């Protein structure tokens, strides 16, 4: 999802965002998130992948992974995330990384960091990895209980230190749920203390080991409180932390409204959002699972449009673009923010088996605690933005 600071202000990741936007406008995948393995050395109790020690039966072979990276290069993919499971557990991880860098892709590793020591950090740096993203959930005992392996948190913090010492950028990721909510603000502070450039906060995805746990999500009112905190932090001239919000696109129009209220010009952000909406499904964003399944979103591993074994990436991206032509239903359909937000399509897939269903977790239209919408103000501010479908301006 959108890097919030870079979207509304000239944030540190504006360059990366521009690369993704340009690729999308050229009809290419804007970024690929690739679960190169389902194997993991941790057992996080919330894991949407339900990752454990086993690889999937039909996992791509080493040769297939290298051929796929070649194809990504030919398709002009600018940004690649290698994730899992635990990506460093895949035996040919370094070969995949080397090939991806040779194809000139910007590569971020999404890892639990338990396998990163000073030597691995140096190796990542020498392979041209600018960023790794790793997870923290709360204090030592809480974190270790959540991931199921004692001593993990201390290793993650040490890994962050050695990565920063090598000059590798670090993003801290956390899942926002009833369990982690008491620790969220401390994690934001810790991200700053550890010199992380970004914090990614993802609303709970109810699949894998979190299946059926909708009641474990925090409320819309709590998310609005967190969004208000993020807004203040972005306006603080001493803070540089970038924020990314996962699986809750309605945070973006919520923040746009708040910034407008305070007299900020959000027209550049709105213009961008009419092209690349807050939910990236159908906008060139592509995920690939460890068996080669091509997914509109990594958070729904069984929602696939084909497989790299029988479909080219060019064909796949065209298939994904078609999702963008479909109108969401329920409150997301008539919503004035429909084109720039779209609602979380993966939550709709999980809840209704229909990816174009309603996003029932919207923080603007939440049942019972509806926040006031400011249609007139918003319409005036977005009047100059080009139509996302083209041809109307
Ligand atoms: C699936 S893991 C893969 C990378 C690596 N193993 C790690 O844990 O960082 C990627 C991210 O997804 C997050 N995640 C896992 N299950 C989730 C869920 N049910 N809801 C939201 N985020 C989740 C994890 O916290 C982690 O930050
Ligand atoms: S969240 Fe990451 S570290 Fe935890 S079990 Fe899943 S894949 Fe492994
Ligand atoms: S109703 Fe749907 S499209 Fe509108 S703001 Fe909420 S989540 Fe986004």
> CB burial class (10 A; 0-12, 13-18, 19+) of residue 307?
middle
Residue 168 pLDDT greater than 80, yes or no: yes
Distance from C-alpha of 302 to C-alpha of 193, rounded to nearest angstrom:
38
- For the cut 50, the answer to whether the pLDDT of residue 390 exceeds it is no
CA distance 61 to 65: 6
Distance 329 CA to ligand 3 centre (A): 10
Residue range 117-134: mean pLDDT, rounded:
98
Residues paired with 169 in a beta bridge:
131
**pTM exceeding the 0.85 threshold for the entire prediction:** yes
The predicted-structure confidence for 340-382, as pLDDT tens digits, reads as follows 999 999 999 999 999 999 999 999 986 555 454 555 445 544 4
Is the pLDDT at 30 greater than 70? The verdict is yes
Q: What is the mean pLDDT of the chain?
A: 92
Higher model confidence: residue 393 or residue 86?
86
CA distance 313 to 77: 10
Q: What is the pLDDT of residue 316?
A: 97
Whole-number pLDDT of residue 378: 53
Which ligand number lies closest to the CA of residue 110?
1
Q: How far, rounded to the nearest angstrom, does the alpha carbon of residue 223 sit from its chain's CA centroid?
A: 17
| pLDDT tens by residue, 135-154 | 999 999 999 999 999 999 99
The protein residue whose alpha carbon is closest to atom 5 in ligand 3 is: 250
Given a cut of 70, is residue 299 above it in pLDDT? yes
**Does position 384 have pLDDT exceeding 50, yes or no?**
no
Given a cut of 60, whether residue 338 has pLDDT beyond it is yes
What number is the average pLDDT over the span 71-99?
Answer: 97
Q: Could you tell which of 2, 345, 362 is best to mutate to test the pocket of ligand 3, judged by most ligand atoms within 8 Å of the CB?
A: 362
Residues in contact with ligand 1 by the CB-under-6-Å rule are 40, 46-49, 83-84, 86, 110-112, 134-135, 173, 175, 202, 204-205, 210
Model pLDDT, residue 388: 33
Q: Distance (Å, rounded) from C-alpha 252 to C-alpha 258?
A: 10
CB burial class (10 A; 0-12, 13-18, 19+) of residue 215? exposed
pLDDT-derived band at 389 (thresholds 50, 70, 90) equals very low
Output phi, psi for 199, to 5 deg.
-125, 130
Q: How confident is the model at residue 17 (pLDDT cuts 50, 70, 90)?
A: confident
pLDDT score recorded for residue 391: 31
């Amino acid at each position: 999802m959108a890097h919030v600071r870079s979207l509304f202000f000239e944030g540190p990741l504006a360059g990366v965002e521009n690369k993704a936007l340009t690729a999308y406008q050229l009809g290419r995948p804007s970024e690929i998130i690739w679960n190169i393995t389902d194997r993991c050395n941790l057992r996080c109790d919330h894991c949407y992948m339900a990752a454990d020690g086993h690889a999937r039966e039909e996992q791509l072979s080493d040769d297939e992974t290298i051929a796929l990276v070649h194809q990504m290069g030919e398709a002009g993919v600018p940004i690649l995330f290698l994730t899992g499971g635990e990506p460093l557990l895949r035996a040919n991880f370094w070969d995949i990384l080397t090939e991806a860098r040779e194809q000139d892709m910007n590569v971020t590793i999404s890892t639990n960091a338990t396998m990163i020591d000073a030597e691995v950090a140096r190796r990542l740096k020498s392979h041209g990895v600018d960023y790794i993203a790793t997870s923290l959930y709360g204090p030592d005992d809480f974190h270790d209980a959540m991931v199921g392996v004692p001593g993990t948190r201390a290793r993650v913090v040490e890994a962050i230190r050695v990565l920063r010492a090598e000059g590798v950028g670090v993003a801290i990721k956390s899942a926002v749920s009833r369990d982690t909510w008491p620790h969220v603000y401390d994690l934001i502070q810790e991200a700053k203390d550890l010199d992380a450039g970004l914090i990614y906060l993802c609303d709970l995805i109810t699949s894998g080991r979190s299946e059926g746990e909708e009641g474990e999500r925090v409320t819309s009112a709590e998310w609005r409180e967190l969004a208000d905190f993020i807004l203040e932090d972005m306006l603080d001239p001493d803070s540089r932390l970038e924020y990314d919000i996962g699986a809750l696109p309605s945070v973006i129009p919520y923040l746009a409204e708040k910034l407008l209220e305070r007299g900020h010009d959000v027209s550049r952000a709105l213009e961008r959002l009419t092209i690349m909406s807050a939910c990236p499904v159908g906008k060139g964003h592509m995920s690939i699972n460890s068996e080669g399944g091509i997914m509109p979103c990594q958070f729904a591993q069984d929602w696939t449009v084909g497989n790299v074994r029988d479909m080219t990436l060019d064909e796949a991206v065209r298939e994904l673009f078609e999702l963008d032509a479909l109108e969401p239903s329920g409150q997301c359909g008539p919503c004035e923010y429909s084109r720039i937000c779209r609602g979380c399509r993966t939550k709709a897939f999980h809840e209704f088996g229909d990816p174009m269903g309603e996003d029932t977790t919207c923080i603007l239209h939440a049942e019972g605690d509806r926040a006031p919408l400011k249609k007139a103000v918003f319409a005036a501010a977005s009047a100059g933005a080009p139509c996302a479908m083209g041809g109307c301006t």
